[in-house]
A and B are shown apart, each in its own frame.
Chain A
Amino acid sequence: MAPRKILLVDDSETILQMEQMILEKSCYELVMARNGEEGVAKALETRPDLILMDVVMPKMNGFDAVRHIRENVQTRGVPIVMVTSKAEAESMETGYESGCSDYIIKPIDSLELVAKVKNLLGE
């Protein structure tokens, strides 16, 4: 069985590396994007099983990226977890209204991230 594919969308290399380090242990195939626009393109191109999406990014923010992903029939059903800071957490009402599935607050806790990923992948 092919490994589940997760798309990581973040403009911070540090966060991408951290997410990669945590998720590689669970043998997921990982794809990276470094802004919202690239995230939308990669979502269409790679059809991931789940997306981790940062909020504040250049070119296109995470909420807009989620809206675009949800508007496309080929990607509208993919689970999306927003990765947000505490200061941005109060804006998660917007995140849910954009179409995200859940959220996690930085600094990322590995146990929480894996639990939410597994939950949304039905594992």
Chain B
Amino acid sequence: MYRLSNSAATTPVAKQSINGESATAPCSGDRSKFYLHPGQLFVASESYAVTTILGSCVSVCLWDPLTEIGGINHFLLPMDVGDDQASLRFGNHAVRELIEEILGLGAEQMRLRAKLFGGACVLEAFRSRENHLGTKNVQIAREVLQAADIPIVGHDVGGDRGRKLIFHTDNGSAWIKQL
């Protein structure tokens, strides 16, 4: 079973593994493929290979190693500031909703592990500034995960380039291609 929430597959070509394994292209095997758009959230109890493209946006990847339930979001802005509080475009909501959806499928919070990707700033002049959008997106993700006591066991954030991310929901494997 999988659930896709909105705010509203091609063959992966990976360049870097973010879990210490070999940096070869990931083999999706029997996994179904899914493309995640900005403002969406995806969780599954079956095995999926989820792809998304990140610039200043951030994706939080979560999975339960025992039940192999996993999920991923893709948010654009750090905090909602108006009435649009339910929108998955905002990190403070998108990360909490991802946790709730994964627990709803039967994962255990104390077993959850997280990986964090994205938050690029392409302009060198602004990259050291703490208030650029990518940095703020990463920060809110870290804050919400810390509040939920979920360890971040891998990440590839910041920098000056977009990323193509492929995440396997069953075992938490993740590959990044710098664009």
Contacts and interface: CB of A to CB of B under 8 A. Distances in A.
A120 to B, nearest CB: 6
Interface of A: 79, 86, 89-90, 92-93, 96-97, 100-103, 105, 109, 111-112, 115-116, 119-120, 122
Interface residues of B, number: 28
Given A105-B37, A111-B84, A119-B133, A92 B53 contact: yes
B125 interface: yes
Interface SS of B by simple majority: loop
Given A96-B161, A111-B77, A119-B133, A102 B56 contact: yes
Contacts of B76: 112, 115-116
Contact of B55 (A96, A109, A111, A115): A96
Given A93-B179, A96-B161, A96-B179, A79 B55 contact: no
Contact of A93 (B125, B126, B164): B164
B123 interface: yes
Contact of A115 (B10, B77, B162): B77
Interface of B: 10, 35, 37-39, 51, 53, 55-56, 76-77, 82, 84, 89, 121-123, 125-126, 129, 132-134, 161-162, 164, 177, 179
What are the 3 A-B residue pairs with the smallest beta carbon separation, nearest first? A96-B179, A119-B133, A96-B162
Contacts of A93: 53, 164, 177, 179
A93 B39 CA distance: 18
Contacts of A115: 76-77, 133
B134 to A, nearest CB: 8
Given A89-B37, A103-B55, A105-B37, A112 B161 contact: no
